Structure 1
Amino acid sequence: MPVFRCTAALLITIMTIPALAIAKSGREPLDVVLMVSGGEQRQVYMELLRSFEAQHPHLDVRHREYEQENYKANIESWLTGDSQAPDVMFWFAGHLMDDFYRKGLIRPVDDLWQAQNWDTVFPESIRRVVSFAGQPMGVPIAYYHWGLYYNKALFQRLGLNPPETWDALLEAGERLKAEGITPVAVGTKAGWTAAAWFDYLNLRLNGLAFHERLMRGEVPFDDDRVRAVFEHWQQLVKGDFFLQGHAGMSWRNALPFLYRGHAGMMLMGGFVKPQFPDSVLDNIGVVRFPLLQSTRGVYENAPTDIFFIPAGADNPEGAKTLLAYMGEPETQAWFNHRLGTTAPNINVTGYGDSIDEQGGEVLAGADGYSQFFDRNTPRALSNPAMEVFVDFMSGKLSLDKALAQLEGLRVAVFGPISNQARLIE
C-alpha cells in the first residue's frame, strides 16, 4: 500500500486555501456542531471547514462551537430533543458513544466505510473502539497519548531523569520539593484531570482487562486491587506532590507552573501541546506514566475522537461527504500536526516535532489502549466519581471513605455484586 508523506510546506498549503466567495443561495446547508477547548483548536476547525467548502462549493457549512464542559452537558439533549439535530457532530469513543448508538441516536455509516475502503486505512485497534457490535459509528479523526510532561531545563539543572518507575517518581518528587518546587502541576476543577491519575494507577497495577471490568461495574470499588490503587495515590497526596489549591484551578491555569519551572511534571494528554507558548516547546518533554508492575503489560490511555452523523440529520449525504474528507490522509496529517495529536489513518507518516514523536513513542510502546474514565462509564457514575477523586486528591476524603463512596455510586448505577460472585472473582 502506498504511504502518504507530508512535508510541513505541503501541510500548510493543503489547509490554507481561502474559502470560495460563492453566494449562499442554492447551496445545501450542512449543520456542524463542534466541541472546542481553546482558541487554537477553534482556528484549526475553522480552517478545516473553509478548505472543505472550497472543495465542495455546493455545501454551505454552518457551524456552532461550544466549550467542552458545556458541550458534554448538552450533547444528549441535542440528539434526543424536539429541535432538528445537527448533520455532523463530534464525540469520543467509549461507553457513551456506544450508548448513543445502542439507543438509535447515531446513523450507521457502513456504506461510507465500504466506499472509502476504511477497513484497510484504520488499524484494528482503532476500528474496534469506533464500532459497536462490529458496526462503525463514525470516522476517527484523532487519537492521542497521555503522558508525564516534564520541564527539561529544570530536570537537567537538578540532575534528574524523567521517572520510568514509581520509585523514581517518588525520588524525583522529593528532590523537587527540596528545591521548593511543586512536583506535579494539576488543575482538577473539571474533575477529569484527577480521573487520569486513577486510570493510570489502575492500568499500571491491575492491567487493562481488570480496568475495563471495573468501568463496566463488574468489580466492586472496595476490592483490594482498587484499594492498592488508592494506597499508591495516597503516597503522593500525603507527600504534598500536587499543586496546592488545584481543586479550584483549571488545567490551563496550572500549565504555566510547569513551563515556568514552578512545578516539575504534569500528567496530561497530547491535546495540551497547542496551549504551550511556542517559545517553551523545546523545553517540554513527555514520557509514559511510570511503571509499577514489571510483569504487567503496559497499557495507555489513548482517547479517540470521532465525527458522526446523528440519526435525525437533515442532510446525511452532505454529512457523509464531510466525514469522507475528514478521513483523508491529507486532512488527518494537517489536523493532527496542528493539534499535537496522532492521525488514525495509517497512510499518514513523516510529520510532527519532538513532542509529537515522543507522544507517538508512548503509544507505540503500549500493549493495549484504554479510553478515558469519563468516556468508559455512565455519567451517573463518572461525574460524581470524579468529584470523589478530586476530594481524595485534595485531602478532604480518607482512603476508606473514598472507596465507600465510589462503591455506593457503583451499586446505584449497576446494582450489587453477590457474595458468590465476589468469591469467584
Structure 2
Amino acid sequence: MSRPRTEAEYLARLVPPSVAGIGRRSLLAGAGAGALLGTGLLAGCGSDSDSGSDSKTVSIGSNQSDPKPKEVIAKVMAGFQTASGIEPKVNTVDHNTFQENINNYLQGKPDDVFMWFAGYRMRFFAAKGLAGDLSDVWGKLSGYSDAFKKASTGDDGKQYFVPSSYYPWAVFYRKSVWQQRGYQVPKTLDDLNALGAQMKKDGLTPIAFADKDGWPAMGTFDILNLRINGYQFHVDLMAGKEAWTSDKVKKVFDAWNGLLPLHQADSLGRTWQEAAQSLQQKKSGMYLLGLFVAQQFSNEEQDDLDFFTFPEVDSTIGAKALDAPIDGYMMARKPKSEANAKKLLEYVGSKAAADITVKNDPSTLVANGGADTSGYTALQKKAAELVGSATEIAQFLDRDTRPDFASTVIIPALQQFIKNPKDIDGLLNSIENQKKSIFTS
C-alpha cells in the first residue's frame, strides 16, 4: 500500500543520460510495451528461460521485486498453474536493473503478459498498437465496477488492461479530534473553508501538507480539477488535448489559492511522512493523501483514523470521481501463445486470484469486488466502498500524463504556484507553452 516513486521518476530511471536527449514519446514508441517489462532485459542478464514456444508456458514481466509483493505474485501464479496446467514463468527485475540494462532491454522481446498501470500509460501503449486487445477477456470477468472497466479501456473503446490492486486518495482525519471539537464532514467547498477557519480558531493547522518530493501537490490539483471540471476534462487536459490557459484551469488554481491559507506552511521543505506526523500528533485537522498514509500510524492509532472524499464544488458534477491509482496486467501485442496469455489474464482478474492476494497481503486493496475481504481493516473496507461507489477513477496526475511533462513541467510549476500563487496567468502560459513543445515531440 506504500506510495511508490512518481511514475515520472520511475520511467525517468529507465532512460540513461546517453539517451536522455531522445524524445520520451519516440523512445517508448520504439521500445514497445514489452521493452519496458519484457525478456530482453533478462536475456541481457543471462536469462533465456522464455525462449521457444512451449504451449504449456506463459511468461510474465514483473517489476514487483520487493519481498512481500514478489511472494504474493508467486502464490497467485502457483494458483494459476494448479487451475490451468500452464506453467507461468515470472521474470522479475528491479528498477536499477532496468536502468543498467536499458539497451539490451529495448532490443529484447516482450513477455506474453506484463505488469503495468491503468490510465494514460495503458492508453498510450494501446494507441501505438503495442498491447493486445483484452475485450474478450473482460467478457469473462466479473466483480469489477464500471469505473474499473473505464480505467482499463483504450481510446478506441477496447479493453487493454486487467486491474489487480489500487489505493484511493481521500481526506484523512483523527476521529477523536473531530469528536472532541464537534467537527462535521464537509459536503461542499464552502463547508470545507468554514471548517478550516474553525480549526484555525481552535489552534489546529487545518490541512497537513507537504510537497518536498513534488508529487503530493498533484493530488490537490487532481481533485480540484475533477470536482470543478469533471473527469473527462481532467483526462483530456492530462493528454494534452485541452489548454492549460483555459478559464476552466484558471478556476482550479483560483479555488486552490483560496485553500492555501488553510494548508500547513513551508510545505516545500516537508516530506509527506512529516506532514502525516502532524496529523498523527493531532496538530493538524485533515490531510489529503493516499491510503498509504496509514503506514505512519500504529495499529491502535489506525482505529482512530477515518476519511471522507473531497467535497463537491459544483453540484452538477458532484463528488463521485476520485484518484485511485490502479496496478494490473497487460498483454503483449504478439504473445507466443495468445490463448495462454488470455487464460492467465482471466485468472489474475478472478476472485480466486484476489482472494490469494488478500490472504497473503492484507495491506493491499484488491480491484475485484467479489473477493473475500473479511480480513480488511475498517479503514480498508471503507476505502474499498469509496472506490466501488466512484463513477470515474483517475490514475493520479503522473500516471495520467506523459512522464516527462509531469516531471519537468508540472512538478516545478505546482511548486512555483505554492511559493507565489499571485501570478496564475503567467504560470499557466508557461505550462501551456511547454506542453505544446513536449506533446508534439
Kindly state the Cα deviation for residue 86 of structure 1 after the two structures are TM-superposed. 4.8
- Give CA-to-partner distance per residue, 1:16-47, whole Å, 9 cap, x none: xxxxxxxx9x99795542257xx7xx514423
* C-alpha distance in 2 between matches for 1:100 and 1:408: 25
Kindly state the Cα deviation for residue 285 of structure 1 after the two structures are TM-superposed. 0.4
Q: Which residue of 1 aligns with 2:93?
A: 64
| Gap regions ≥5 residues in structure 2 | 1-48
| Gap regions ≥5 residues in structure 1 | 1-23, 416-425
Q: Which residue of 2 aligns with 1:345?
A: 368
Indicate if the aligned counterparts of 1:185 and 1:263 stay in contact, CA closer than 8 A: yes
Q: Does 1:251 align with 2:280?
A: no
Q: Which residue of 1 aligns with 2:15?
A: none
Indicate if the aligned counterparts of 1:145 and 1:341 stay in contact, CA closer than 8 A: no
Q: Which residue of 2 aligns with 1:12?
A: none
1:295 to 293, 316, 319: 316
Indicate if the aligned counterparts of 1:127 and 1:136 stay in contact, CA closer than 8 A: yes
* C-alpha distance in 2 between matches for 1:196 and 1:78: 34
Q: Does 1:102 align with 2:102?
A: no
Indicate if the aligned counterparts of 2:146 and 2:391 stay in contact, CA closer than 8 A: no
Q: Does 1:306 align with 2:328?
A: yes
Q: Which residue of 2 aligns with 1:151?
A: 174
Indicate if the aligned counterparts of 2:178 and 2:184 stay in contact, CA closer than 8 A: yes
Q: Secondary structure at the match of 2:242?
A: coil
Equivalences for 1:2-401 in 2 at 5 Å? 30=59, 32-35=61-64, 42-50=67-75, 52-53=77-78, 56=81, 58-59=87-88, 61-66=90-95, 81-86=106-111, 88-109=113-134, 112-113=137-138, 117-118=140-141, 120-132=142-154, 133-237=156-260, 239=261, 241-244=263-266, 246-274=267-295, 276-298=297-319, 299-311=321-333, 322-333=344-355, 335=357, 338=361, 342-348=365-371, 351=374, 352-383=376-407, 384-395=409-420, 398-401=423-426
The RMSD of aligned alpha carbons is 3.7
Kindly tell me: are residues 350 and 85 of structure 1, through their superposed partners in 2, closer, same or farther at Cα, counting changes over 3 Å? closer
- Give CA-to-partner distance per residue, 1:277-305, whole Å, 9 cap, x none: 32211111010102222333332223322
- Give CA-to-partner distance per residue, 1:58-85, whole Å, 9 cap, x none: 555442344xxx79x9699689712454
Kindly tell me: are residues 84 and 277 of structure 1, through their superposed partners in 2, closer, same or farther at Cα, counting changes over 3 Å? farther
Indicate if the aligned counterparts of 1:326 and 1:332 stay in contact, CA closer than 8 A: yes
Q: Which residue of 2 aligns with 1:405?
A: 430
| Structure 1 stretch displaced more, 57-66 or 204-213 | 57-66
* C-alpha distance in 2 between matches for 1:363 and 1:54: 27
Which residue identity does 2:93 align to in structure 1?
Answer: R
Which residue identity does 1:64 align to in structure 2?
Answer: V
Which residue identity does 1:242 align to in structure 2?
Answer: Q
Kindly tell me: are residues 29 and 147 of structure 1, through their superposed partners in 2, closer, same or farther at Cα, counting changes over 3 Å? same
Kindly state the Cα deviation for residue 274 of structure 1 after the two structures are TM-superposed. 4.7
Kindly tell me: are residues 106 and 79 of structure 1, through their superposed partners in 2, closer, same or farther at Cα, counting changes over 3 Å? farther
Q: Secondary structure at the match of 1:190?
A: coil
* C-alpha distance in 1 between matches for 2:305 and 2:318: 27
Q: Secondary structure at the match of 1:174?
A: helix
Equivalences for 1:409-420 in 2 at 5 Å? 409-414=434-439
Indicate if the aligned counterparts of 1:79 and 1:105 stay in contact, CA closer than 8 A: no
* C-alpha distance in 1 between matches for 2:149 and 2:105: 26
Kindly state the Cα deviation for residue 391 of structure 1 after the two structures are TM-superposed. 2.3
| Structure 1 stretch displaced more, 48-57 or 276-285 | 48-57
* C-alpha distance in 2 between matches for 1:87 and 1:322: 10
Indicate if the aligned counterparts of 1:89 and 1:310 stay in contact, CA closer than 8 A: yes
Kindly state the Cα deviation for residue 150 of structure 1 after the two structures are TM-superposed. 0.9
* C-alpha distance in 2 between matches for 1:78 and 1:320: 29
Indicate if the aligned counterparts of 2:147 and 2:391 stay in contact, CA closer than 8 A: no
Kindly state the Cα deviation for residue 130 of structure 1 after the two structures are TM-superposed. 1.3
Kindly state the Cα deviation for residue 148 of structure 1 after the two structures are TM-superposed. 0.6
* C-alpha distance in 2 between matches for 1:225 and 1:306: 32
- Give CA-to-partner distance per residue, 1:307-337, whole Å, 9 cap, x none: 2234587787775565344222133245358
Kindly state the Cα deviation for residue 349 of structure 1 after the two structures are TM-superposed. 5.6
Indicate if the aligned counterparts of 2:75 and 2:356 stay in contact, CA closer than 8 A: no
- Give CA-to-partner distance per residue, 1:160-200, whole Å, 9 cap, x none: 22333222322332333344433222332333321111111
* C-alpha distance in 2 between matches for 1:146 and 1:193: 11
TM (norm. structure 1) is 0.75
* C-alpha distance in 2 between matches for 1:97 and 1:308: 8
Indicate if the aligned counterparts of 1:30 and 1:315 stay in contact, CA closer than 8 A: no
TM (norm. structure 2) is 0.73
Indicate if the aligned counterparts of 1:86 and 1:312 stay in contact, CA closer than 8 A: no
Kindly state the Cα deviation for residue 236 of structure 1 after the two structures are TM-superposed. 2.5
* C-alpha distance in 1 between matches for 2:241 and 2:347: 40
Indicate if the aligned counterparts of 1:272 and 1:340 stay in contact, CA closer than 8 A: no
Kindly state the Cα deviation for residue 234 of structure 1 after the two structures are TM-superposed. 0.9
